[in-house]
């Protein structure tokens, strides 16, 4: 038994999300960073690796060099998995090569730059038999898992309405476009056909489906760009219909001045409703028509087993974004560990995070990746159409990036 050895592509000096992934991956002492190709600039890639105190011979100048070299190393040294934290346009080629060279993959979302690539990636995963995870981070929050469990166990009755909103304000003005994080998200060559919906709208759709256990079947969408000269959307509203007959509203915005990362989910059933906000992640509200509302706090009273498996601290010690990220990585590491050490890794393994089969397998994978990319393409296509309702299709659509979006 040993730590799972991880390489990283992207996330070098000046990158925000790479550091988040590294902290999360190593939080529970199950994964160690052993190598990386941290930038498309070879010199920056090497210097970034050195700044993380990696061995110089494992600070690679490109991801191609890393996979080719690592694959030749002995079993006691070679990395087991790779974390992909690049802009969207590199997700597919990096994941493809990693899988072809025998490495498990954890990728930032969305999985690829378009649905054609995601479906191709699914075929590669099925062919290689290797593991693939996607960091839909918000599914890792303990109280999101508690909300999911309560809905699954029928505590809300039949679901009638789902409202999910994700307003941000960091791209409200032209001057906000100068940062590294903004520049590639607003570039269709690197981001794909959507900025706002591809960045945070897809998180919202994933969260709505994950918590309710329902699937989106129809959409009506209106996307816009509020800043002169922007090609891609920075704001949008989507009406949803689910396979159960429930309806919903999804709001995603990057131009809502003063908002931080105000992700919020509300699910209304026949007998009760449930509400969660990322700004208060350790709390879930349940509300009723015939009795007082109930505040459910992490660590207080009985919780679902999967919720417990994703908590580390006693009540009153908040667990947030980093811990939610870490839950996905830690559970992914257990999946890898089962493959590496099947005779010694039994079902009762308990380390810093108590784990069980259901929790271990609760990592977003290629199916979430396909639905996420399909959501992005369906929403953009629907917004470009004069028709009201559109079926949620899991096949590529004919979509163009207009010179000027509607209502720009």
Model pLDDT, residue 212: 98
pLDDT digits 0-9 by tens, 134-187: 999 999 999 999 999 999 999 999 999 999 999 999 999 999 998 888 999 999
- Geometric angle at alpha carbon 368, from 362 and 373, rounded to 5°: 160
Share of the chain above pLDDT 70, in %: 95
DSSP state of 3: P
In percent, how much of the chain has pLDDT > 90? 86
| C-alpha triplet 406, 376, 14: angle, nearest 5° | 95
pLDDT tens for each residue of 75-125 = 999 999 999 999 999 999 999 999 999 999 999 999 999 999 999 999 999
What is the structure's pLDDT at 125? 98
Peptide bond into 63 cis (omega under 30): no
Report helix, strand and coil shares of the chain as percent, to nearest 5: 40, 20, 40
Gyration radius (Cα) of the chain, Å: 21
What is the pLDDT of the chain when averaged over all its residues? 93
Specify the pairing of strand 81-85 against strand 132-134.
Answer: unpaired
Domains of the chain are 4-134 (3.40.50.720), 139-315+368-391 (3.30.360.10)
Q: What is the pLDDT of residue 15?
A: 87
pLDDT of 50 > 60? The answer is yes
Distance CA 348, CA 326 (A): 20
By CB atoms closer than 10 A (0-12, 13-18, 19+), residue 111 is: buried
120-131 burial, b at 16+ Cβ within 10 Å, e below that, comes to ebbebbeebebb
Instruction: State the pLDDT at residue 408.
Output: 34
Give yes or no for a contact between 379 and 223, defined as CB atoms under 8 angstroms apart. Answer: yes
CA distance 205 to 191: 18
**Is residue 54 helix, strand or coil?**
coil
Q: What is the reported pLDDT for 43?
A: 96
Residue 356 confidence class, pLDDT cut points 50, 70, 90: low
Q: How many CB atoms lie within 10 A of CB 353?
A: 22
Quote the pTM value. Answer: 0.94
Is 354 a residue whose pLDDT tops 80? no
CA dist., res. 170 & res. 236, Å (int) = 15
pLDDT of res. 322: 96
> What is the per-residue pLDDT across 275-297, written as a single tens digit (0 to 9) for each?
999 999 999 999 999 999 999 99
The two three-digit tokens of residue 252, written as one number: 């995603």
User: Quick check: 407 pLDDT over 50?
Assistant: no
Tens of pLDDT, residue by residue over 283-341, are 999 999 999 999 999 999 889 999 999 999 999 998 999 999 999 999 999 999 999 99
Judge contact between 20 and 96, C-beta under 8 A: no
Helices within 15-103 (DSSP H only): 17-26, 42-51, 63-72, 91-100
Q: Could you tell me the maximum CA-CA distance found in the chain, to the nearest angstrom?
A: 66
Contact 246/212 with Cβ under 8 angstroms?
yes
- Cα distances (Å, whole numbers) of residue 43 to 47, 49, 240: 6, 10, 47
Q: Is the pLDDT of residue 228 over 70?
A: yes
Instruction: Check pLDDT > 90 for residue 1.
Output: no
- Quote the pLDDT of residue 242: 98
> What is the spatial distance between Cα 11 and Cα 271, in angstroms, rounded to a whole number?
46
Which among 158, 247, 167, 243 is positioned nearest to 201, based on CA atoms?
167
- Listed in sequence order, the residues at least 6 apart from 338 whose beta carbon sits closer than 8 Å to its beta carbon are 345, 360
Which is nearest to 87 in space by CA: 137, 14, 150?
14
């Amino acid at each position: 038994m040993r730590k799972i050895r991880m390489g990283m592509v992207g996330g070098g000096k000046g990158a925000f999300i790479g550091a988040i992934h590294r902290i999360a991956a190593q939080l529970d002492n199950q994964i160690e960073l052993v190598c990386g190709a941290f930038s498309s600039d070879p010199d920056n890639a090497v210097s970034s690796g050195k700044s993380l105190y990696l061995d110089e011979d494992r600070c690679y100048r490109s991801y191609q060099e890393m996979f080719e070299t690592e694959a030749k190393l002995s079993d006691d040294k070679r990395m087991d998995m790779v974390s992909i934290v690049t802009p969207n346009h590199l997700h597919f080629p990096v994941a493809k090569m990693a899988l072809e060279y025998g490495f498990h993959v954890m990728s930032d979302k969305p999985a690829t730059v378009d649905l054609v690539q995601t479906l191709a990636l699914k075929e590669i995963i099925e062919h290689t038999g290797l593991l693939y995870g996607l960091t839909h981070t918000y599914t890792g929050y303990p109280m999101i898992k508690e909300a999911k469990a309560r809905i699954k166990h029928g505590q809300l009755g039949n679901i009638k309405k789902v409202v999910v909103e994700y307003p941000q304000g960091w791209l409200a003005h032209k001057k906000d476009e100068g940062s590294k994080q903004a520049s590639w998200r607003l570039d269709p060559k690197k981001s794909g056909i959507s900025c706002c919906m591809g960045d945070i709208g897809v998180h919202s759709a994933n969260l709505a489906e994950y918590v309710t256990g329902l699937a989106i079947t129809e959409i009506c969408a209106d996307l816009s760009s509020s800043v002169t000269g922007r090609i891609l959307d920075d704001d949008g509203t989507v009406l949803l219909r689910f396979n159960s007959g429930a309806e919903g509203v999804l709001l995603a915005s990057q131009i809502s001045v003063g908002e931080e990362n105000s992700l919020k989910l509300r699910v209304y059933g026949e007998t009760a409703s449930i509400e969660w906000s990322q700004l208060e992640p350790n709390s879930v509200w349940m509300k009723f028509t015939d009795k007082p509302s109930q505040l459910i706090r992490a660590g207080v009273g009985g919780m679902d087993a999967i919720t417990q498996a994703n908590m580390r601290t006693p009540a009153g010690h908040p667990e947030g974004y980093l811990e939610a990220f870490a839950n996905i990585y830690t559970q992914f590491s257990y999946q890898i560990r089962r493959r590496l050490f099947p005779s010694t890794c039994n079902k009762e393994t308990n380390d810093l995070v108590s784990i069980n089969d259901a929790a271990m397998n609760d990592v977003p994978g290629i199916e979430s990746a396909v639905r996420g990319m399909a959501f992005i393409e369906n929403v953009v296509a629907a917004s470009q159409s004069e028709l009201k309702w559109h079926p949620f299709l899991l096949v590529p659509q004919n979509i163009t990036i207009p010179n000027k979006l509607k209502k720009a």
